[in-house]
Structure formats: C-alpha cells, structure tokens
C-alpha cells in the first residue's frame, strides 16, 4: 500500500525542468503570453453564456456576488498554484504537483480527472462556438446547411428567416407550421476543433501569439459592451432599479435564489475559470517560469474576476435575470440598449473568444497526458515530441480528433458542471499539496511563496470542497464512474510501467 503513495522525487522534477534538445518542449512563452493564455480561456464561455444562465437559474442579479465567491476560491488556490509553478516548472499542472507531494495514486486520479475536464470542456465550448458562428453567418445572409450545424437528432426550426434550436423560440411562439430540419452532425464544431488542433501542432509560440491577438480583440468587445451598457443604465436609472430589485431574489424551495443561490451559482460558473488551471500546464514552455508563472496565474485571475463582476452587473441591469437562460445572453442584453450593431459585435467577440478557450483547453489536456506518459503511467507514444515543431503532436492530434467528434454527434450542453467538479478537485489537491510540501521541505528555495500558510491552503480546500457539494448528484456519479475506469487502467498498466515505482527504496525515501 505505501508504494501507491510514492512521491516523485524533487531531484527528478528538477532534472526534467532542466532538459533541453529537440525531444523536449520549447521554452518560448513570456509573462504576457501566460497572462493572455489564462485570459483567453477564462474570458469565453463564462461571459458569453454561463453568466446569464447562472443568473436566470440560481442567483438573479446576485450572480455578481457569486463571482466574488468564485474569485476568492480561485485566489486561495491561485496563490498555491503560483508557489508550485515557481518551484516545479514542469508541464502537467495539478497532476505534477500532486505527484511531488501526495503520491502516485493521487497524482493519477487528478491527471485522469483533468483529462476529462479539458477534453469534454473543449467539446462543450466547440458546440457553443458553432451556435454563435452559425447565427453570425445567418445575420450576414450566409446559410450553412442546417442539418450540419447541430448534433444528431436535434430539431431546428426556421423562424423569421433564421434557423434556430426549437427550444430557443420566443415564448408563446409555436413551431407548428414552421420548416423543420433534424440534425445529422455538427460539422461546424468539428471544423473549429480541427483548426485549433492544427495550430497547437504547429507550435506553442504560434498558438500563444494567435491567442494573444484574439484576446486583445475579445477584451475590446467586452469593453464595448460594458461602456455601451453602463452609459445606457446611467441614462435610464429606472431600468437598472427595476431589474436589480430584488438584488437577491427570494428562494424557490429547490436550493436556488436567496442566500443559498449565491454559492449554487458560484459552483455552476466555475467552468469559466478552467483557463486559470491551464496556465500552469504550460510551465515547461515558459522562458522564465520561476518569475513568469506566478505573474501569469495571478495576473489572469485578477483581470478575469474584475471583468466577470462588471459584466454580470451590467447584464442583469439591462434586462430581467429571468430572461437570461439563452445561448447568447450578452447579445440579448445589448439589444435592449437599441444599439443595432451590438448583437453582431458580441457574436464576433463570442466566435473569437470561444476559439481561444478551446485552444487553451486542448493545450492543457495534451500537456497533462505528456507528463503522465513521461512518468511511465501512459504509453510512450503520448510523450512523443515533433522534431521540428517541438510539440507533443501525436497526443494533440489524437485528442483533437476525439474532442472534435463529441460535439458532432452528442448533445453535451450538460457537461459544464462535470468540468466544474474537475477544476474544483484540482484546486483542492494543489492547496493541500503546498501545505504538505512546506512541512516536508521547509527549507526548499521558493521563488514565490504562498502567504499565510497553512491558512491560505486550508481556506482553498474548504472553499473548493464547499462548492463541489453545491453541484448536482449526477455530476458526482459521472466523475466517480470516470475515476473507476481510470483506476482499472492504473492497476493494470500504470503501476507496472511507472518510473517512480522502479526507483530503489533508498532513492524514493531519501529525496
């Protein structure tokens, strides 16, 4: 049993971090690249979809307080991530940190969990991207074959010249007599995932530059929404007063709204913060990870939390929170201002924004598998590095194709909560790991130190676990099922091929 919890010696981690050559990942990312990498993933699905849904289903205008709660949870974990990333500049994020502190079995569990989190998260976002892109095409008079714009068996109807999901029809409008089309598969979602996969294969620097350019466009569009919305609200204070009252709606008897709706909404929007974890997966490709990783992690977290709070306040001020359970709530809100070009602009922002979310999710997923393969827990093919591009190209292609197929055929709009539980579990393990490492190696050189240990790690653990228990039971069931599959693989393959398990007892115990 003790062998299951063997930690990966710090000497091995230090040696891996110092590796160079054509078979290693290329260090080419600056602090700015890392900040925009985080913003690219965090400012996407959260702002363009989840904020409205969380307000409509869980918290009402108090969703702004949900982002405060989620941001605090991320801040505790972020400080712990920053310390780990400065000490262990290795790809793999929470998987690697768990391996160094809590042992191999825990590392396997979190690595397997992150695989689900990133792959299914990318697929979920691809489906949302396809919806925004198809809607944008139709606004410009371009009609893509409707059967190839939605998942298998889903029904679309044509209303006022626009093909849309039957469930998205305005209240009181019947689909009787409207043209119907049944979806074959979502070709648009497939094409965008394959395009993002190609960019990731070509190179991390190219991917980061592409991401940075899009982040600038995306932040500009979010800024336009905030300025236009705020000016409208200042000119029509009665609108804001009506929509923000009551700020905390009365409870509905099902755990939503009221005071308890705030943490319920915070748990539902945690999908928005997945990019914050993804920054740490790029540690092995940072030019100066000891300095730049803390800047990238904490910088992206601060910028994104402030933007989310501002957007949620403007969004719920412009329209009633009850109307926001739609696929494009920000477009709906800006339409209320009477700014005709606003809807098109927001959809353009969503198209760019969701593309960068997919890029960072697939980047994170492949780097976790790369690290697990380098440790012997997965077949060697997953850590093969392209001699020219210096990227884990085989892993990127395999999982790019896997992530592309899921939104093509499967209705995966319910997967956001599944991704949430994965993110929160990662935060719990990283917070615990920092505390344990302080006890085991108190004199280790730490370029960045988490303040107030053990208070900050303990608060990180408590807040993350609390939000996990605010998620639906079906989310727990799916995650447990996924982990059972992972444990079968671990005990049948990984234990026998693990490099750490092959170390002599003296080496494993003495580091």
Q: Which residue has the higher pLDDT, 172 or 110?
A: 110
Which pLDDT value is given to residue 206?
A: 59
Which pLDDT value is given to residue 480?
A: 87
Q: With bands split at pLDDT 50, 70 and 90, how would you rate the model's confidence at 45?
A: low
Here the tokens at position 135 are 């809607």
Q: For 441-469, write each residue's pLDDT tens digit.
A: 888 888 888 999 899 999 999 988 988 88
Which pLDDT value is given to residue 42?
A: 73
pLDDT (mean) for 434-439:
89
* Average pLDDT value for the chain: 80
Is pLDDT of 440 > 90? no
Is pLDDT of 433 > 80? yes
Q: What is the DSSP string of 59-115?
A: IGGGHHHHHHHHHHHHHHHHHHHHHHHHH---TTTHHHHHHHHT-HHHHHHHHHHHH
pLDDT (mean) for 220-247:
91
pTM summary value: 0.75
Is pLDDT of 204 > 70? no
For residues 64 and 69, give the distance between their C-alpha atoms in angstroms, rounded to a whole number: 9
Tell me the chain's radius of gyration from C-alpha atoms.
23
157's enclosing H/E stretch is strand 155-159
Show Cβ contacts of residue 262 under 8 Å, excluding neighbours closer than 6 positions. Answer: 59, 62, 65, 66, 69, 248
Q: For 381-432, write each residue's pLDDT tens digit.
A: 887 887 777 778 788 888 788 878 776 666 555 556 666 777 788 888 889 9
Which pLDDT value is given to residue 36?
A: 75
pLDDT (mean) for 116-140:
79
Highest mean pLDDT out of 139-148, 159-168, 268-277: 139-148
Q: For 63-122, write each residue's pLDDT tens digit.
A: 999 999 988 888 888 888 888 877 776 666 778 878 888 889 988 988 888 887 777 778
Is pLDDT of 438 > 50? yes
For residues 315 and 90, give the distance between their C-alpha atoms in angstroms, rounded to a whole number: 39
End-to-end CA distance of the chain: 19
358's enclosing H/E stretch is helix 342-374
Is pLDDT of 472 > 80? no
For residues 280 and 11, give the distance between their C-alpha atoms in angstroms, rounded to a whole number: 20
Here the tokens at position 20 are 């160079």
Which pLDDT value is given to residue 510?
A: 47
Which pLDDT value is given to residue 19?
A: 62
Query: Measured at the alpha carbon of residue 276, what is the angle toward residues 478 and 449, in degrees to the nearest 5?
Result: 120
Query: Are 66 and 269 within 8 A, CB to CB?
Result: yes
Query: Measured at the alpha carbon of residue 189, what is the angle toward residues 396 and 301, in degrees to the nearest 5?
Result: 65
Which pLDDT value is given to residue 459?
A: 93
> What homologous superfamily does CATH list for 2-137+201-510?
Amino acid/polyamine transporter I (1.20.1740.10)
Which pLDDT value is given to residue 492?
A: 94
**Domain locations in the chain?**
2-137+201-510
Q: For 55-76, write each residue's pLDDT tens digit.
A: 988 899 999 999 999 888 888 8
Which pLDDT value is given to residue 282?
A: 67
Helix axes 393-409, 342-374, angle to 10 degrees: 130
Percent of residues, the chain, with pLDDT higher than 90: 14
């Amino acid at each position: 049993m003790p062998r299951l919890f063997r930690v990966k010696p710090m000497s091995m981690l230090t040696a891996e971090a110092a590796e160079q050559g054509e078979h290693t990942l290329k260090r080419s990312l600056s602090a700015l690249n890392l900040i925009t990498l985080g913003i690219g993933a965090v400012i996407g699905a959260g702002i363009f979809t989840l904020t409205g849904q969380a307000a409509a289903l869980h918290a009402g205008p108090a969703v702004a307080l949900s982002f405060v709660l989620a941001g605090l949870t991320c801040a505790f974990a972020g400080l712990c991530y920053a310390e780990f990333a400065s000490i262990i500049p290795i790809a793999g994020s929470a998987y690697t940190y768990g391996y160094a502190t809590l042992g191999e079995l825990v590392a396997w569990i979190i690595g397997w969990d992150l695989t689900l989190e990133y792959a299914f998260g990318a697929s979920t976002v691809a489906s949302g991207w396809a919806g925004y892109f198809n809607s944008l095409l139709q606004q410009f008079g371009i009609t893509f074959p409707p059967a190839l714009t939605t998942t298998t068996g889903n029904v679309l109807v044509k209303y006022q010249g626009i093909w849309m999901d039957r469930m998205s029809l305005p209240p009181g409008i019947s689909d009787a007599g409207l043209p119907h089309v049944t979806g074959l598969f979502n070709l648009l979602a497939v094409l965008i995932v394959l395009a993002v996969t190609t960019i990731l294969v070509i190179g991390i620097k190219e991917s980061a530059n592409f991401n940075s350019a899009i982040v600038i466009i995306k932040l500009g569009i979010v800024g336009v929404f905030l300025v236009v919305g705020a000016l409208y609200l200042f000119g029509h204070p009665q609108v804001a007063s009506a929509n923000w009252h009551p700020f905390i709606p009365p409870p509905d008897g099902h755990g939503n709204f009221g005071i308890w709706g705030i943490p319920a909404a915070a748990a539902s929007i945690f999908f928005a913060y997945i990019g914050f974890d993804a920054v740490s997966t790029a540690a092995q490709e940072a030019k100066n990870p000891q300095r730049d990783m803390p800047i990238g992690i904490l910088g992206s977290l601060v910028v994104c939390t402030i933007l989310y709070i501002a957007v949620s306040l403007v969004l719920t001020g412009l329209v009633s929170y009850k109307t926001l359970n739609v696929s494009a709530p920000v477009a709906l809100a800006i339409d209320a201002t009477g700014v005709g070009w606003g809807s098109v602009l927001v959809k353009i922002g969503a198209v760019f924004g969701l593309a960068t979310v997919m890029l960072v999710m697939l980047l994170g997923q492949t780097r976790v598998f790369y690290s697990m393969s380098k440790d012997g827990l997965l077949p060697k093919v997953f850590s093969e590095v392209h001699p020219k591009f210096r990227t884990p190209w085989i892993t990127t292609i395999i999982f790019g194709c896997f992530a592309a197929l899921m939104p093509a055929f499967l209705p995966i709009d319910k997967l956001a909560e599944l991704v949430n539980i994965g993110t929160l579990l990662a935060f719990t393990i990283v917070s615990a790991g920092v505390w344990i490492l302080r006890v085991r190696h108190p004199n280790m050189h730490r370029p960045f130190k988490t303040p107030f240990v053990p208070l900050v790690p303990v608060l990180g653990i408590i807040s993350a676990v609390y939000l996990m228990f605010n998620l639906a039971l079906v989310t727990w069931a799916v995650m447990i099922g996924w982990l059972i599959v992972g444990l079968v693989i671990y005990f049948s393959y990984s234990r026998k091929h693990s490099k750490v398990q092959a170390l002599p007892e003296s080496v494993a115990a003495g580091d």
